[in-house]
Amino acid sequence: MSALFEPWTLRDLTIPNRVWMPPMCQYSAAPDGPTAGAPTDWHFAHYAARAAGGTGLIIVEATAVSPEGRISPYDLGLWNDTQAEALRRITGFLTAQGTVPAVQLAHAGRKASTDQPWRSGAPLGAEEGGWRPVAPSPIAFGAGHPLPEELTTQQMTSVVRQFADAARRALAAGFQAVEVHGAHGYLIHEFLSPYSNHRTDAYGGSYENRTRFALEVVDAVRAVWPEDKPVFFRVSATDWLPEGGWTPEDTVRLAADLHAHGVDLLDVSTGGNVAEARIPTGPGYQVPFAARVKAESPLPVAAVGLITEAEQAEKILANGEADAVLLGRELLRDPSWARRAARTLGAQTRVPEQYLRSV
């Protein structure tokens, strides 16, 4: 049996293989009106193609827990029931294809209110449909970005509740797993890192204080999410700073804390919190961070980052560096990557009846 195509059970959920799709924003939802934040035909076609292509688990893109938590006005959301009902069409199709539907719940923090990346990706002013971002501390993400509003503890309590409410809607929408977005310089990561968190209250300073908000969000989500279904957490394992940022050592420590709070898997990425950070990319460049968490903590991990070839993915799992692999750009290029990888590795995987002539 190929390690890549071995089923895996987390809690009571069995995932058919270890080829997973990470959350990748499509910036294609309506920006306003009664369907703001709801998926469109683009979203259905996008996710349906990867499910038909044999992907074992698909994590739907960063889905905002509130309007002001969107990266852009064109992001998906789960702050109302209309959005949840619209997502049922996608989860229903994925489930029918044997793919596990998951969703990433997110708040963009100080990186909110930007344009679609193919237009400019620049911050939007109020006259362009934008809004003032919020953050742990009033520190702009980078040049040209606005100074965010510092969250009060009352506002933080509201955000925690929004995560829980979004998780309830995710369950009603048919998702089988939920991921808390704590990476890439968005709100939870901003709290974790001393680079972006300069608070002097119970949510800043020490490691325990800086991780407090993340654990409160996890506790709120876990409290409303069924015990038989898994909760994931996405983390940036490093800020890629020589000092003064979030570190791999912090990540290992956080993994143990998240495990104790009911998280079932750590989705290990890196970066995103420092605009000018230098990141040395290359094939599998983030895998060592996942491997370290797996070796030094009790939490299972998924690896991501320029994983493109079947043999490469198989080796990562066979060597015990990760429990699953997430393929981003590669699945954008090839929706049927999982079926192609199965043929390469001599493994069996499902094929839709309509595509049997392709076997």
Q: What is the pTM of this model?
A: 0.97
Looking at the DSSP assignment, which residues form a beta bridge with residue 150?
135
**pLDDT tens digit sequence for 219-267:** 999 999 999 999 999 999 999 999 999 999 999 999 999 999 999 999 9
pLDDT of residue 359: 82
Query: Is residue 204 over pLDDT 90?
Result: yes
Residue pair 112/65 in contact (Cβ under 8 Å)? The answer is no
**Listed residue (260, 220, 219, 215) closest to 235, CA to CA:** 215
Other C-beta atoms within 10 Å of 71: how many?
A: 26
Kindly indicate the confidence band of residue 154, based on its pLDDT and cuts at 50, 70 and 90. very high
User: Is the pLDDT reported for residue 19 higher than 90?
Assistant: yes
Q: How far is the C-alpha of 89 from the C-alpha of 92, rounded, in Å?
A: 5
- Return the pLDDT at 1: 83
CB 311 within 8 A of CB 344: yes
pLDDT at site 20: 98
What is the band of 324 on the pLDDT scale with cuts at 50, 70, 90? very high
CA–CA distance, 245 with 190 (Å, rounded to integer):
10
What pLDDT score was predicted for residue 13? 98
Helix (H) or strand (E) holding 47: helix 41-52
Instruction: Kindly state the average pLDDT of the residues 327-349.
Output: 96
**Domain range annotation of the chain:** 19-267+292-299
Write down the pLDDT at residue 348.
87
Q: How far is CA 128 from the centre of its chain?
A: 27
Active site residues: 186
Please report the DSSP string for 163-190 in residue order: HHHHHHHHHHTT-SEEEEEE-TTSHHHH
Dihedral sign for Cα 322, 210, 215, 112, please.
negative
Q: What is the pLDDT of residues 67-96, one digit of tens each?
A: 999 999 999 999 999 999 999 999 999 999
How crowded is residue 293: how many other Cβ atoms within 10 Å of its Cβ? 25
> Shortest CA distance to 113 belongs to which of 98, 101, 127?
127
Give the rounded percent of residues in the chain with a pLDDT score beyond 90.
Answer: 97
Axis crossing angle, helix 41-52 with helix 81-96, rounded to the nearest 10:
20
**Superfamily of structural domain 19-267+292-299:** Aldolase class I (3.20.20.70)
Closest residue by Cα to residue 173 from 16, 63, 276, 277:
63
Q: What is the mean pLDDT of the chain?
A: 97
Residues 140-148 have a mean pLDDT of: 95
Q: What percent of the chain clears pLDDT 70, i.e. is strictly above it?
A: 100
- Over residues 49-56, the mean pLDDT reads 98
